[in-house]
Amino acid sequence: MQTIVECVPNFSEGRDAGKVHAIIQALLSGPDVYLLDQEMDADHNRSVVTLVGTREAVGEAALRGIGKATELIDLNHHQGAHPRLGATDVVPFVPVRGVTLEDCVRIAEWVAEHAWKRYRIPTYLYETAARTPERRNLENIRRGQFEGVRDEVKSNPERRPDFGPEPPALHPSAGATVVGARKFLIAYNINLATPDTSIAKSIAKKIRASSGGFPCVKAMGVDLKAQNLAQVSMNLTDFETTSIGTVFDAVAREAAEAGVEVKGSEIVGLIPRAALEDAAVHYLKIETFQPGLILENRLDTVLSRQANTVGAGLKPAATATTRTLASMAEEFVNAVAADTPAPGGGSVSALAGALAAALGIMVCRLTLRKKSFADHYGAINQALEPLERLRARLMELIDRDAESYNGVLRAMRLPKSTEAEQAARREAMEAANKSATLVPLETAESIAEVRRLIVSIQPVTMPQAASDLKVARAMADAGRAGAVENVRTNLESIQDREWASEVESRLRSQRDAQTPVAPA
């Protein structure tokens, strides 16, 4: 995968393996998403799932998980040691490869918005995606948990979700979901050889950043009833600032002063290799250590050099395997060329729009690297964010267009032997044709906005990329023209002429005078 984003959704279910399995199946039911790890904890009554996916796919995967959790989890009947606000409690996105933290912010915003639109789950944005400083910390949002926030949100404007109903309210059974973007976080727990939770809470207060302890450390004391133990449960939000070895030493020291031993520790989810390297060096006291001493690190460096050599146009080693740009596009092209009606012109139009947006994004990013264009950074950034959002939407519309056509085919295959069956089939056909009309309409509207943004950045971006913007405009013109043709073709099958007239009005209202489209 050219881009890799980690997503670590936390679900408020740690006792029913069947429910957790169903949620994971939903998460993985789309393309370009892979499961790295899953953790279930009965005491916490919580599951932590670690996924990786492409920048384009990981947000949709998270939404599938949110939807399934909404079906299966009722917080009114949920009890556990871990605080919780929602059935899907928290969904962070973490940059891994080929993406930035800002990219993950945009993914988080899109997921938060669509969790509300699709499933009516109110959402809050946290960490780097937070829209107010006090919401950077998850604890501030989740204070009071499901029951407390459910009551307070009705009267306290400061507790209202970033996306949700008016007047503010939580989902009656699934609560609210907190979505954000952050650096890699290590969930690290230390179990004490005592059931006395007050000791764990006292230690947590001493070491957490909010109480004047270690920076980038969040901690709380937890009662593990099933194990008859107290636990110091921690999140290390920047292990390079405060290492796992540092917090272990601190907890062990405080526990010893209280007359308690450390029984053991656990990592929830995954941990970066560098964090364990730091811990090993900390305890082994290795002198003159450097990461290149680790075999896997050295191997990664060698393979990276080989890949860069191939990318520079030099002859690859005999054993090297490469994926060309043509091979990356081949799967979609072959799908269009197959003897099936979908994907067809609608999907191709959406792809053309996505490519236009991608070219605009490329030009914006290249220009932002030029100090000579510093005076235009503000205008460029104002165009960059919506272009990235539109590119993601148009990529989604590629599949949605094919799915909408398949919906028409399903309606056409309905039985029509009796008058009742014929009436049901007509109703299904009308609904399917309306859906198949709205998808290319959304494509056309999205591409029109892409083209407007492309035109707006032409005067403020580097002249060396002018030809790329011309190509972007040409792709946008072609994509929008194709989408409009699909809209008008589908309108011919619509019986509700008032509805069809409203669609035509939307086409006219968003038509760019410079965009060539076929006459009505």
Q: Where in the sequence numbering do the catalytic residues fall?
A: 82, 401
**Angle at the Cα of 340 from the Cα atoms of 339 and 344, rounded to 5 degrees:** 110
Token readout for 276 is 């364990």
Please give the span between the terminal C-alpha atoms of the chain, in angstroms, as a whole number.
42
What contacts 56, CB < 8 A, 6 or more positions away? 3, 32, 392, 395
Give the C-alpha separation, 106 to 134, whole Å: 19
CA distance 232 to 207: 10
Report the alpha-carbon distance of residue 335 to residue 402 in Å, rounded.
Answer: 11
Q: In what side-by-side order are the strands of the sheet with 186-192?
A: 217-224, 229-236, 186-192, 262-268
Distance (Å, rounded) from C-alpha 54 to C-alpha 474? Answer: 27
Give the Cα separation of 116 and 178 in Å (integer). 12
Beta bridge partners of 232: 190, 221
Residue 45 structure tokens: 């009554």
How is residue 270 written in tokens? 């995954």
Provide the token pair at 177: 């979901």
- Provide the CA 119 distance to its chain's centre, in angstroms: 16
DSSP code at position 206 = H
Give the closest residue to 91 by CA, choosing from 179, 13, 192, 161: 179
Q: What distance in Å separates the CA atoms of residue 130 and residue 180, rounded to the nearest whole number? A: 7
CA gap 477, 454 in Å, rounded? 11
Crossing angle between the packed helical segments 377-412 and 419-457, to the nearest 10 degrees? 160
Angle at 61 between CA 57 and CA 65, to 5 degrees: 175
Distance (Å, rounded) from C-alpha 151 to C-alpha 77? 17
DSSP state of 316: P
Half-sphere exposure of 63 (CA within 13 A, CB side): 21
Task: Give residue for tokens 């006292």.
Answer: 202
Token pair in block for residue 491: 């309108």
Question: In sequence order, what are the beta bridge partners of 322?
Answer: none
CA distance 319 to 217: 45
**Integer Cα distance of 55 and 58 in angstroms:** 6
